[in-house]
Structure 1
Amino acid sequence: MEKIFINLARRSPFYMYLLLNMSVQPSVEAEKMHVSFRNGRFTVVYNPRWVERKSEQFIEAFLLHQLMHLINLHFLIRPKNDRDRAVWDLAMDAAINQHIPELAAFGVPLNLLVEEGHGVDNENLFVLPPDWMPDRSAEEYHAWILEEMEKLGRFDVLIVARSRENSLDSHEKLYTQDSVDMVLELSQSLLSKAFNLYGKELPSGVRRMVELSIFKPFLNWRDTLRRFAGVSEHGERYLTPLKPNRRYADQPGWKTESAARLGLIVDTSGSIVQEELDAFFTEIEALSRYVDTSLVLVQVDRAVNLKVNYTKGMWRNMQIVGGGETDLQPAVDYLEHNYRPEGLIVFTDGYADLPKVKRRVLFVLSKYHNDEFLLQARETYGRSSVVVLEW
């Protein structure tokens, strides 16, 4: 293992810094190798008998794979059930393995696994993303898998997921039982220190992963979201093979499409500078970690320019459209009419007329905001309806 650590240091001192701040624990009870959180610190747990049977190059790549789970904060993911967990396992590996050449050599593209509906007879099954979807987050691959399953009308991908889980890489130890907030704080602290010292030497794809993980939002979204508490409105009810029928096992089940709970409006007018956009999307990214419902995001200057269903990590490929004058009302009307959100969160500098909002609203203003807008918003919607980002 000492040789493995030295080899990873040659790749980048960033990885060595992470490992030097972890404990290392050999255990014959461990199935293979994993990184876990124990006694207030991260620990590399490995089975020495298993390590001895593998080449140094392979163990080095596999340890890097485990570090990548930490770098991507995958322990924050909370699957809804066993089926969802199986899909998440595939999605997480697809996001990671594309950045590790040694594992990519054993890889099978995610689209082939989903389309063919079965795994391969190979202990070393490592999932890769579809060729046309490189450098995406686990959340994006998860959404893609569900869409493909819906199109194919089957659950066969679960067979693939279980085959992967029973092969070399199991994620059983990934889902921590400790306080998520505590593990997140320690993870971001460790990653930030390593990145400040050695981040420039990382490959561009890995560097973006780390940047995404160490962003520290100004707002405490866990507390902020309490003002938007409520029950989602229900939408259309339809049959889907993705939900089993409780009465007839061979029939599809009913699913109710819920309306979006939160609508996000991002001001992309000409008065918004890049520093403000970066601050807005840092908050949006943090918000996406604390909700398990749909986030519909629209960009607006004097008209609605772009609409997306926002998921964690989407900021890295987000196209910014706008640059004109500012009118927030079209975005408010669009979301309220088409999505019936329980609340709207508006990211702006406030150099616009105050929009008329029928639902709960929170205005998130940049530090370069318009004081007149702030005062008017508080008078109209209440003092708690406005927060200012002081980065």
Structure 2
Amino acid sequence: MSDSDYPFWSDEKTPPNQKVEVIAEDVIENTIENINLEDVEAKLTKARTQLILDQPFLGNLVLRLPLKAAGSWCKTSATDVKSFYYNPGFIDSLNNPQIKFVLIHEALHCALTHFARRGTRVKHKWDLACDFAINPLLVKEGFHPPIDVPIFRQYEGMIAEEIYPMIDDNSDQEPMDQHLYDDNPDKDQQQSDGGLREDQLQNENLEKTNKDKNPNTGKSPASQLAQQPAPLSPDEVDKLATQWQKNLASSAQLAQQAGKLDGEFAKLIDFFLQPQVSWQSLLAQYMSTFARDDFTYSRPSRRPGKAILPSLRSHQIDITVAIDTSGSISQDEIDEFISEINAIKANIRAGITLIACDDKISSESPWRFEAWEQLLFPASLGGGKGTNFNPVFNLINAQDVPSDVVIYFTDAKGKFPEFEPIYPVLWLVKGKERVPWGSRIQLN
């Protein structure tokens, strides 16, 4: 995928300063001798103060990261989850709204624990997925990014785990910042004469030049620049993930008290602060509560002995499984879901009625699988249109005997029935949308 496949931000209402350059791949050189570091830090401090007053949730998160001017290793901005690193030349080239965007961007990487969620995923793709999860959200909330930052609007409302498989493995797009928490730069590129890093050599040369210009000055601007920090250790990742969850909760509480927490950020907080339990475990626990296993004396146990013991009797339950085929659910996710349902139904003796629906029920639906039959995914479910949940519930309500439970696999972005049915409904939701009634399990 080429860079041209990505839509870039542009807004005539907030024109950039004349010094703004391409930041995705070009390095903005740190010409420190021409930049007043105090003035640059003052711009950052002003933007943080305004965020505290106008957006206390985001402002409190931003304040958790100390500001550190970086050496030439930093192209634009960066974070190691402990500090906010910045290229002074880059920050000096931005206007106030763009600086706010960059500050929030780095803080959200930390607050959403992107540094602890990569797992075995490819770093480059994961870094892109994290950026693509944050940037559309900030634009939607009215923040203005620097020029040439890709805003991939099709990822709006999605988290990094959902975006990751949608990114081309061969994408040449670069993240807008540097994610230092698990960065392992090539040592050959990091070293030069005498084993020193390139930015150290550049800073030493610059310091020598400044001393030659002003021999009475003991400290040059270059000596004030931070070196690139080491990646986080596993213990640091665990400790910082816990700390940033606390930061997220406390910042949300302060914003709620100020009456300034709503919109997408309120959804985001609910999503990331809920208990992190696998949906497979929750689904198994939920379905097991409907198993009709009970003891009865109508047929006493045949176990030998003088006492009359009850026998265990099991009754088959009927479950309706509905799948949203509007296009937001991937084939791999549906396959995993079907496999999980199949494993659970074998243990609780459940007959399954499978229904596929987008804005209307598939012409081939429903499919019926008895307790002893394997739940096989049909070759084609159709779909791809809008989402309407009413057809599924209308079909179930028309039956002589309704299902014992309905499980709906969806992103919850659709038209719900006005009234809650009398039978239990379980929503397995991909994304952050809420449901008006029934029980909800988070898929991702």
Give the TM-score, by structure 1 length. Answer: 0.46
Q: Which structure is richer in relative contact order (CA contacts within 8 A, separation 6 or more)?
A: 2
Larger proportion of helix: 1
Give the TM-score, by structure 2 length. Answer: 0.41
Which one has the largest radius of gyration?
Answer: 2
